[in-house]
Amino acid sequence: MSIPTKRGFGETMIAVAWSFVGLRRRRDFDKDVDAMNPLYVIGAGLIGVAVLVATLISIVRMVVSA
C-alpha cells in the first residue's frame, strides 16, 4: 500500500466544497481521509459555513427590500 501524499489547503477547500454540495464520491472520500490535514478541513469547513451564511443573509436582504 502506498503512502498517501498530503493535500494542500486549496485541494482541501475543493474537497470540502464538493462535500457541502453532496456530490463527493465514496471512493474519493476514502482516499482523502488519509491525505488531508485535519486543521485544513476544519478551516475549510468554517470558511464554507461563513460563505453560506453570508449568501443566505444577502438573499434574504434582497428579497425583503424588494
**Residue 1 lies inside a defined structural domain of this protein:** no
Q: Which of 19, 26, 23 is nearest to 52 (CA)?
A: 19
DSSP 1: -
Between CA 63 and CA 66 the distance in angstroms is: 5
Count up the domains in the chain and report the number.
1
Q: What is the dihedral of CA 44, 53, 29, 4, to 10 degrees?
A: 0
**Residue 2 lies inside a defined structural domain of this protein:** no
The domain containing residue 50 runs over which residues? Answer: 9-65
**Residue 3 lies inside a defined structural domain of this protein:** no
**Residue 26 lies inside a defined structural domain of this protein:** yes
**Residue 59 lies inside a defined structural domain of this protein:** yes
Please give the pLDDT value at position 26.
79
Low-confidence ranges of the chain (pLDDT < 50): none
Please give the pLDDT value at position 31.
80
